[in-house]
Amino acid sequence: MTERIVAAGYKAFRAKQVMDWLYKKRVEDWDAMSNLPKDFRGWLAENYIIYPVRPILDKRSDDVTQKMLMELEDKSLIETVLIRAPKKGVGQEDSRKTVCVSIQVGCAYGCKFCASGLAGFRRNLLAAEVVAQLMHICRREEEQEGGNEHRTSNVEHSTSNGGGESQMSKQAQERPAFDNIVFMGMGEPLANYDALVRTIRILNADWGLNFGARRITVSTSGLAPQIEQLAEEGVAVRLAISLHGATNAVRDQIMPINKRYPLEKLLPAVKAFQQKHGRMLTLEFILIEDVNDSLEQARELAKIARNLHAHVNCIPYNTVEGLPWKRPSIPRQDAFVDILKKAKVSVTIRREKGHDINAACGQLRLKTEEAAAES
């Protein structure tokens, strides 16, 4: 941006001011940038769009999951979800907030259980469209928190200095209103690699959101070459692998990507990432009745997890209308998890959030587009 600003005849330091307004003060209007000359604001408005996504539907589930449908400039729809996990013994206002962002419109990978793949792939998002999802959540939460009261409470008070902007309120303002970011919305992050890395760098940057890579999780269906590339990229994000099958026979049935990168290609790439970055690895395993929930699968999964020093996250399948899959009964889920525990694998089972608001990946958009097509 500095280069463009200088080429257009403005002073280089203006770029820093613009970043400040966008990422620290989080304004969404050029005219609110009061320390910028009027002609420069005009040039910005002609050349850039602030937040190129617009929320059009905001659904709140009983269990504190909030799902937003966002419209892009070309009218495509994507989903962004805010998940609040209340901390033990503390009220909801002190919950841990995770934002789940989308990285593509639709998805080309066609996993058999997933709503995002059902309508096929439309296009990649720009990094700006991914960052804008986060900025919307930031602004929305800050408005609801009413002047950052809650977040400032964690920041050390310096001596009171009456009026003006104190160091404390500045820090609080800069801290995003959420704790974690997961790339688990629509699309395959590693298939939009450049936008993914660009987004992570903007999130990390001190001129950007100043958000640590260790609080960012990239979930992938298993694009082995890009996993290897990401390991060398110098961004220490957490990686989650959507495994969902512990043998090629099972994985082949539900994830077409397994034909291109079967386990013997995928697992070494994951191992390389793990060795580069330590223990920042999760294996996601959706439990689908009679597809991958046998005790034999649990035993195979345990072997893989131990070899990779990975944490296993079991997720009872979220039913998607029009798809035949079901979640197993709770005793069956428990039996699966017990095998992993007995094998000394670190394992959690997600008691799902947001079932009542179509929270499974891609479902809200699918339903909205179907309804629009009918009307």
Q: Which residues are known to be catalytic?
A: 79, 361
Cβ of residue 320: shortest distance to ligand SAH, in angstroms? 5
Question: Are the beta carbons of 24 and 109 closer than 8 angstroms?
Answer: no
Cβ proximity of 91 and 150 under 8 Å: no
Cβ 116 to ligand SAH shortest distance, Å:
7
**In 3D, which of 259, 181, 173, 187 has the Cα closest to residue 213?**
181
220 binds ligand SAH (CB under 6 A): yes
Smallest separation (angstroms) from ligand SAH to the CB of 189: 6
Longest dimension (CA), the chain: 68
Amino acid at residue number 8? A
Strands 96-100 and 180-183, how do they pair?
Answer: parallel
75-114 binders of ligand SAH (CB under 6 A): 113-114
193 counts as binding ligand SAH under rule CB under 6 A: no
Choose among ligand SAH, ligand SF4, none what residue 226 binds, the Cβ cut-off being 5 to 8 Å by kind: none
Residues forming the site for ligand SF4 (CB under 6 A): 107, 109-111, 114, 116-117, 187-188, 221, 242, 361
Binding letters toward ligand SAH, positions 26-65, x by CB under 6 A: ----------------------------------------
Residue with smaller CB distance to ligand SAH, 66 or 219? 219
Dihedral through CA 197, CA 364, CA 78, CA 251, nearest 10?
40
Closest by CA to 276, choosing from 231, 309, 323, 218, is 231
Helix-helix angle 224-231:193-204, to 10 degrees: 30
CA distance 195 to 129: 9
State both tokens at 92.
């909801």
Q: What is the dihedral of CA 28, 29, 35, 37, to 10 degrees?
A: 140
Nearest distance, CB of residue 187 and ligand SF4, angstroms:
6
Which partner, ligand SAH, ligand SF4, none, binds residue 358 by CB below 5 to 8 Å per kind? Answer: none
- Taking the least distance from each CB to ligand SAH, the nearer of 129 and 188 is 188
Comparing CB distances to ligand SF4, the nearer of 83 and 243 is 243
Is 112 or 276 the residue whose CB approaches ligand SF4 more closely?
112
Cα-Cα-Cα-Cα torsion 253, 254, 259, 264, nearest 10 degrees, comes to -90
Contacting ligand SAH within 250-289 (CB under 6 A): 284, 286
Q: Hunting for tokens 């970011």 — which residue is that?
A: 181
CA distance linking residue 118 with residue 94, whole number of Å:
37
Which one of 66, 80, 199, 242 is in contact with ligand SAH (CB under 6 A)?
242
Minimum CB separation of residue 261 from ligand SAH in Å reads 13
Structure tokens at 363: 């479902």
Told to check if 320 binds ligand SAH by CB under 6 A, we report yes
- The CB-of-114 to ligand SF4 minimum distance in angstroms stands at 3
Shortest Å, Cβ 283 to ligand SAH = 10
- Of 84 and 358, nearer to ligand SF4 (C-beta) is 358
CA 26/CA 23 separation, integer angstroms? 5
| Pair 281, 238: CB distance under 8 Å | yes
What the block records as the tokens of 46 is 């002609």
Q: How many residues bind ligand SAH (CB under 6 A)?
A: 16
- Structural element, H or E, at residue 259: helix 257-260
Among 65, 76, 274, 318, binds ligand SAH (CB under 6 A): 318
Report the residue number, 133 or 219, with the smaller CB distance to ligand SAH: 219
Per partner kind, with CB cut-offs from 5 to 8 A, the member of ligand SF4, ligand SAH, none near residue 117 is: ligand SF4
- E strands, 133-268, in order: 180-183, 216-220, 238-242
Residues that bind ligand SAH in the complex, under the rule CB under 6 A: 113-114, 184, 188, 219-221, 242, 284, 286, 315, 317-318, 320, 360-361
